[in-house]
Amino acid sequence: MIISQFYPLLGGAEVQAQQLASGLLGREIKVSVLTRRLKGLPQYEVVEGIPVYREIRTIELGILWGIWYIVSVFIFLYRKRKDYDIIHCHIVQGFHTVVAVFFKYLFKKKVIVKMSSSGETSDLKLLKEVKLGKLFLRWIRNVDIIISVCKKASLEILNNGFSKDSLVEIPNGVDINRFSKSSLQKKGGIRNITYIGRLDSYKWIGYLFNGFKDLLSEVDNVRLTIIGNGPDETILKNMAKDLAIQDSVTFKGRQEDIVSELYNTDIFVLPSLSEGMSNVILEAMACGLPVVATSAGGNSDLIRDRCNGIVIPPRDPIRLSAALLELLEDGELAQRLGKEARKTVEENYSMGHIIDEYVKLYERLLP
């Protein structure tokens, strides 16, 4: 597996890669990870049984960053060419995908690439924006398999010239034992709405603040908890002050123990403009929480409106506020949606089920 960042730097794609690699090891499939070398981390270590090689080198000098990245991936794959059958690339726009396709033709390796996001932050959109990006895209179309995590991503893949035969839909998964409704605690008093994610413009937290301000005029004893960090953190804190909601909003920064945060949540909310398939929505649903989310990316695949959550349009603070108010006032609805949310992930998105799908895919590539 190749991914630009890996443990201990864990975003959504990195978490999925780590859980998949760990699960495949449990199925007696030999897995190793190639990732970027970062200051303060060993060049080689074993993480939860996964051999991790931090041998992708970069230089912060414009185009040389990409050149060194490509060269170091090529050297590593050539040196280890007898040790693997499949190159599994996470995130399409990584330069490693370009190199992997060369090894498909040079050494007949099978190449899989996973598209992690669609819409405004789409892997394909970001790829086309870099120097030589459109040329790279034409080359990457030669992969054996491109993985889509949701229907919107699949449509985008086909619209960008990939063959239908190369497209496989496998969603993200969640550890349903770690994130369990049985661990949820009964709470009284102040009710808590939680957002977990990066603090940037694509998550559209400003709309959440506007909707939350309207909500505060309707109900008492409710708080909004913001978990995560990012470039817009200062802007958002100032916005909370400008809207006079700062006393009801808590910024907790990045938290390692997401499980505990979800266990202290009544409603989970995700107002983003762009998603692949959100890990935090899967985790919240696995905990049996009612979820309010926009229709971005895979959210519409995960959530059937008013069956196992509530789906709202992006950029609509009025609809957002109304959905949150309804769940706060109708405990029976909130409980039913949370119960159905847990059932959904148990039946379709457990990590064990997702690993089964990947094993079938590998066996299809290497009969």
Q: pLDDT tens for residues 194-207?
A: 999 999 988 889 99
Q: Is 337 inside a domain boundary?
A: yes
Tens-digit pLDDT profile for residues 123-149: 898 888 888 889 999 999 999 999 999
Residue 213, pLDDT > 50, answer yes
Judgement on whether residues 256 and 295 belong to the same structural domain of the protein: yes
Fill in the amino acid letter for 321: S
Q: Is 2 inside a domain boundary?
A: no
Q: How far apart are CA 294 and CA 202, in angstroms?
A: 12
User: Which structural domain range is residue 19 located in?
Assistant: 12-173+351-365
Judgement on whether residues 33 and 161 belong to the same structural domain of the protein: yes
- pLDDT-based confidence at 186, cuts 50/70/90? very low
Judgement on whether residues 160 and 72 belong to the same structural domain of the protein: yes
Judgement on whether residues 249 and 341 belong to the same structural domain of the protein: yes
Look at strands 110-114 and 145-148 and give their pairing: parallel
Judgement on whether residues 324 and 199 belong to the same structural domain of the protein: yes
State the CB neighbour count (10 A cutoff) for residue 49: 10
Closest CA to 249 of 259, 257, 237: 237
User: Are the CB atoms for 201 and 232 separated by under 8 Å?
Assistant: yes
Residue 120, pLDDT > 90, answer no
Judgement on whether residues 269 and 297 belong to the same structural domain of the protein: yes
Using a pLDDT cut of 70, give the percent of the chain over it: 98
When pLDDT is averaged across residues 221-229 and rounded to a whole number, the result is 95
Judgement on whether residues 101 and 60 belong to the same structural domain of the protein: yes
Q: Is 341 inside a domain boundary?
A: yes
Q: Is 157 inside a domain boundary?
A: yes
User: Are the CB atoms for 181 and 286 separated by under 8 Å?
Assistant: yes
Q: Is 70 inside a domain boundary?
A: yes
Q: Which pair of structure tokens corresponds to residue 190?
A: 């102040």
CATH number of 192's domain:
3.40.50.2000
Judgement on whether residues 337 and 302 belong to the same structural domain of the protein: yes
Judgement on whether residues 127 and 207 belong to the same structural domain of the protein: no
Q: How far apart are CA 75 and CA 55, in angstroms?
A: 9
Q: How far apart are CA 362 and CA 367, in angstroms?
A: 8
Judgement on whether residues 130 and 200 belong to the same structural domain of the protein: no
* Tally of structural domains, the chain: 2
User: For residue 180, what pLDDT is reported?
Assistant: 86
Look at strands 110-114 and 167-169 and give their pairing: unpaired
Q: Is 4 inside a domain boundary?
A: no
Torsion of CA 48, 50, 53, 54, to 10 degrees: -40
Closest CA to 152 of 123, 127, 195: 123
Judgement on whether residues 290 and 355 belong to the same structural domain of the protein: no
Tracing tokens 């959904």 back to the chain, one arrives at 344
Q: Is 58 inside a domain boundary?
A: yes
Residue 183, pLDDT > 50, answer no
Element (H, E) at 169: strand 167-169
Judgement on whether residues 161 and 41 belong to the same structural domain of the protein: yes
Confidence (pTM): 0.91
User: For residue 188, what pLDDT is reported?
Assistant: 56
User: For residue 109, what pLDDT is reported?
Assistant: 98
Q: Is 5 inside a domain boundary?
A: no
